[in-house]
Chains A and B, each alone.
Chain A
Amino acid sequence: MTDLPTITWGLLERATREAPPSAQVAGEWLARLQGPLRVGVVGAPGVGRSTVVRALAGAPFEVVEGDAAVRLWLVRRPDEAVVADAVSTIVVLARADELGGGRVDAVAAAGRVAARHAREDLGERCQAVVAVAALPAVGGLRLTRDDANALAALVHEPDALLSVDRLRARVGAALPDKLGMFGVRVAVELVRQGAAVPSGLVHHSGVQDLLDAVDTHFLARAGVLRARAALLAITPLLRGHPLSADVERVLASAHEPHELRLLAALDAGRVSFGHRDEEARYLLGAHGTSPAARLAVSGDAYPAHLRWQALTESPDLTHDEQRAAATVARSCAALVAVGVVE
């Protein structure tokens, strides 16, 4: 099947040649189609954008503060309105430690809140909802020997962990500023258990969950997302140009974004086909987008297409599930057209 990135490549090249107003932007996007994926971090002031950017340093993608091809939308509370392009957005409950009052299990609790919202309305407006307390993850990597000693001493002084004022009185301002109350509490707990502090902090901060989400929802299909972002970026510049009709047609008919939305819905549990969920994930390209990878579970493409086509009219499924089955069936149809079976 002719995939979105290939088509987009052609369209962008045509745009640089034929449509001068969009030539520069199209050129930039052409160059960017090959580089690492740019992930933008956006959110209200004070929500902790720069901390999240620092926490994601070293990840296999480029992180920028501000909007990019795909974005992490930082909010303090799940009910803060998010208006965004769903397929390219992950909502992050930043400062998740505050949501749970800075208790040791605060981020885990916030993670449960995030999962619940992903199943509900918020999930309709983004690919995933993740709870993150970025500060401890960043601070954990910058701990000094003095900090380690202080943490070890704090194991025997639970009263000092009651409030930030007490903590500062006991160990000075550096450690609480570096880790936050939640971070210090988790670090002391890790010391008590004899576990490695920095990696434990990253684990408890939810940063790993965020990396996993970016991996699943963005990196796995980076080509599609980049192509889509490029087309969306040149659309306003092409107004009135004959090329704009082509771009609009490609954007409207591209099937990959629907696949990504359905995968997100399956992950969040908003849609389910019961025991067929795994096959659906394969067919939708969750485990690789080559025809062989998509058909790894299903076998031959044509019978799979017939099976999923039948599900679109199955009385056992709800209307939403029937529509989701239609999306899978369309992926199958494309595989039938390619005709590659190993």
Chain B
Amino acid sequence: MAAGSVPATGPAVFTYPGEQGILKRVMTAPPWLDLLDDTIRACATHERHDLVDRLLDRRAGLLEPGRRVVVAGYPGKGKSELVNALVGADVCPVGTDLTTIAPTVVRHAERPTPLLEASDRSAGRDVGLPRALLGAGLVLVDSPGFGAPGCPRTARALAVLADADAVLVVTDATSELSALELELLVHVSRLCPTVLVALTKIDLVPGWRRVAEVDRGRLAEVGVVAPLIPVSSVLRAAAVRTEDAELNKESGFADLIGCLRRDVLTDPARVAARAAAATSGLALEQLITPLRAEFDAGLAPTDTRALSEWQSAGRRVERLQRESARWQTQLADDVGDLLADLDFDLRERTRRILREVDDYFDAADPGTVWDEFSDWMHDALTAVAEVNSGWLVERFEWIATRVARKALPGNDVVPGEMLRALGGSWHDDLRKPNIERFSPAQKVFVGLRGSYSGLLMSGLATTLAGLPLINPISLGAGAAFGARSVFEERGARLKRRQAVAKTAAQRHVDDFFLRYGKEAKDATRTVHRALRDRCTEVAHSLREAAAESARVIKTELEAESARNTARLTQVRRDLERLLALRTRIEAAR
């Protein structure tokens, strides 16, 4: 035995006189066992417990003394008949239609177990027979025929194949190997490298030699290394019955048994080693494939999404900084414009009033209409102040919106909110249809209004008080100087009174212009500062947040990259280990 010649490296070798050979074979750890165990350990490391279980089963099977030869193929090819002919007994049910449903295991026994009854076809059977071939360590397994992919029959057939040490694929001479059969052969030879092909029914088909040649060619084409042995189970059965050696030779079973002895029994350890290597190789492949995929994926640039997030965060910080400078300039410009326009508007309106005053007092006598005039003036200036300040407020709203859009781009801070923060109840007052139209920045403008209305209250009444020109008494006195002179006098006096009234009105309006203008400008500046500070504050916090998120993303990216590198290193190490194991397995084949 070849295994016996391998120096015992592992466990102690128990030797008893006379039984040395067998015991050595059983007790010495064969070299493939290490490989299989290493593979099992690798599978356990990678948490493929399904593979571990399968390999452990396989390991137990391979350590058993007999070598299992599974007879496999598509239905109706004569698998069961071949097994029966091989052992010279009807151990497997044979029929015209699909007959074999469960596997039959035929092994050596000193006394034959009772042969089959027709009823127990469905259950798997173990049959013992006293046969030299079986006694030499051969276990025959008759398997159900393959069916359509995925059907239960196919699954059962594959399950039987999983435990095969060698496979005897059965095809028949009535047709050449079909594509399906070749597919099965390729699959089988990957699962279990020791493969034999039996071409049955050669007693029936005149052209079986040609079929055999074609089949051998097809086997070579698909790269399956397996001897093809033409056999006739019918002739073999007849030969066994009549003990006709010539017939036995014609049946081809002598060749088949020769092949089985040569390929399986001469060197069972090698058969086991090849089976173990194939099984380990398939299991390793299942470990290597995902790892390799992971490794290949790892070589690609890391998480591109996170990277682009980080870049966009950086861009956002930059843009916020740029915007900040821009909107401050813009705010200053806008407010400068506003002040100029405000000034011009006020000047324009007051001048129009003064023109009207001039026109008015060209004709009217201030002495008689002064009270009326005083009221008119009050109303006119109030209107100017209201229109002007309302306009001021509107402009500010517009500026604030514009600046907010610039300073807080795409931001959740609504400009109205900011103005509300500045001026208090924004919306309510905006909608209130009363004279207090300058509500938005109300708090700021309240003082303004107070100041000008105060001015208007006390304005003209006192300005003209005590002026002798408008003294009605003097009018009365003038009457004493004769009608003409009086009239002349009255004409000249009227002119003077009118001039005085104009001057007084002029001065009053100038006063209003100065004081209201000052208040309005002060208010504007206050609002301007408040707006600027608020926007700066918000923009600053935005910038801070953006910078912070960029920092966080950066940190995460670095951590992720570090993790990736570590994982990749780990994967590479695992892969190298598995590939080394695979090389050892390849060598063992």
The segment from A97-105, A261-269, A275-283 that touches chain B is: A97-105
Q: Which of chain B's residues have a CB closer than 8 A to the CB of A77?
A: 75-76
- In the complex, are the beta carbons of B203 and A110 less than 8 A apart? no
Contact for A177 among B172, B202, B206, B234, CB less than 8 A? B206
Segment 204-236 of B: residues with Cβ below 8 Å from A: 204-206, 208, 232, 234-235
Q: Does B201 contact A (CB under 8 A)?
A: yes
Given that A79-B98, A100-B96, A113-B96 are known contacts, is A163 also in contact with B234, CB under 8 Å in the complex? Answer: yes
Residue among B147, B204, B234, B235 facing the most chain A CB atoms (10 A cut-off): B204
Q: Does A46 contact B (CB under 8 A)?
A: yes
State how many angstroms separate the Cβ of A340 from the closest Cβ of chain B. Answer: 47
- C-alpha gap A110/B506 in the complex (Å): 132
Given that A77-B76, A99-B76, A101-B234 are known contacts, is A164 also in contact with B96, CB under 8 Å in the complex? Answer: no
Q: Which of chain A's residues have a CB closer than 8 A to the CB of B232?
A: 163
Contact for B97 among A78, A168, A173, A177, CB less than 8 A? A78
Q: Does A121 contact B (CB under 8 A)?
A: no
- In the complex, are the beta carbons of A109 and B96 less than 8 A apart? yes
Q: Which of chain B's residues have a CB closer than 8 A to the CB of A168?
A: 206
State how many angstroms separate the Cβ of B121 from the closest Cβ of chain A. Answer: 15
Q: State which size class the interface on A falls in.
A: 20 to 34
Segment 102-146 of A: residues with Cβ below 8 Å from B: 102, 106, 109-110, 112-113, 116
Q: Which of chain A's residues have a CB closer than 8 A to the CB of B250?
A: 163, 165-166
Q: Which of chain A's residues have a CB closer than 8 A to the CB of B75?
A: 77, 79
Q: Does A4 contact B (CB under 8 A)?
A: no
Nearest-neighbor residue (CB-CB) of B151 within chain A: A79
Q: Which of chain A's residues have a CB closer than 8 A to the CB of B81?
A: 101
- C-alpha gap A76/B75 in the complex (Å): 11
Segment 158-200 of A: residues with Cβ below 8 Å from B: 162-166, 168, 173, 176-177, 180-182
Q: Which of chain A's residues have a CB closer than 8 A to the CB of B588?
A: none
Nearest-neighbor residue (CB-CB) of A159 within chain B: B247
- In the complex, are the beta carbons of B175 and A46 less than 8 A apart? yes
Q: Does A95 contact B (CB under 8 A)?
A: yes
Q: Which of chain A's residues have a CB closer than 8 A to the CB of B78?
A: 101
- In the complex, are the beta carbons of A164 and B76 less than 8 A apart? no
Nearest-neighbor residue (CB-CB) of B148 within chain A: A81
Given that A99-B96, A113-B96 are known contacts, is A163 also in contact with B206, CB under 8 Å in the complex? Answer: no
Q: Does B549 contact A (CB under 8 A)?
A: no
- C-alpha gap A116/B96 in the complex (Å): 12
Given that A46-B175, A98-B204 are known contacts, is A110 also in contact with B96, CB under 8 Å in the complex? Answer: yes
Q: Which of chain B's residues have a CB closer than 8 A to the CB of A182?
A: 204
- In the complex, are the beta carbons of B203 and A162 less than 8 A apart? yes
Nearest-neighbor residue (CB-CB) of A173 within chain B: B206
- In the complex, are the beta carbons of B96 and A79 less than 8 A apart? no
- C-alpha gap A18/B407 in the complex (Å): 77
Nearest-neighbor residue (CB-CB) of A98 within chain B: B174
Q: Does B184 contact A (CB under 8 A)?
A: no
- C-alpha gap A110/B97 in the complex (Å): 8
- C-alpha gap A112/B234 in the complex (Å): 22
- C-alpha gap A18/B98 in the complex (Å): 54
- In the complex, are the beta carbons of A163 and B235 less than 8 A apart? yes
Q: Does B553 contact A (CB under 8 A)?
A: no
Q: Does B238 contact A (CB under 8 A)?
A: yes
Top 7 A-B pairs, shortest CB-CB distance: A163-B203, A102-B204, A109-B96, A113-B97, A98-B174, A181-B204, A164-B206
Name 17 A/B residue pairs within 8 A (Cβ), A-sorted.
Answer: A76-B175, A78-B97, A79-B75, A79-B98, A81-B148, A97-B204, A99-B96, A101-B201, A102-B203, A102-B204, A162-B234, A162-B235, A163-B204, A163-B235, A164-B205, A165-B203, A177-B206
Beyond A112-B96, A173-B206, 8 additional contacts (C-beta under 8 Å) are A76-B175, A77-B76, A78-B97, A79-B75, A101-B78, A101-B204, A163-B250, A164-B204
Name A residues whose Cβ lies closer than 8 Å to a Cβ of B.
46, 76-79, 81, 95, 97-102, 106, 109-110, 112-113, 116, 162-166, 168, 173, 176-177, 180-182
Name B residues whose Cβ lies closer than 8 Å to a Cβ of A.
75-76, 78, 81, 96-98, 147-148, 172, 174-176, 201-206, 208, 232, 234-235, 238, 247, 250
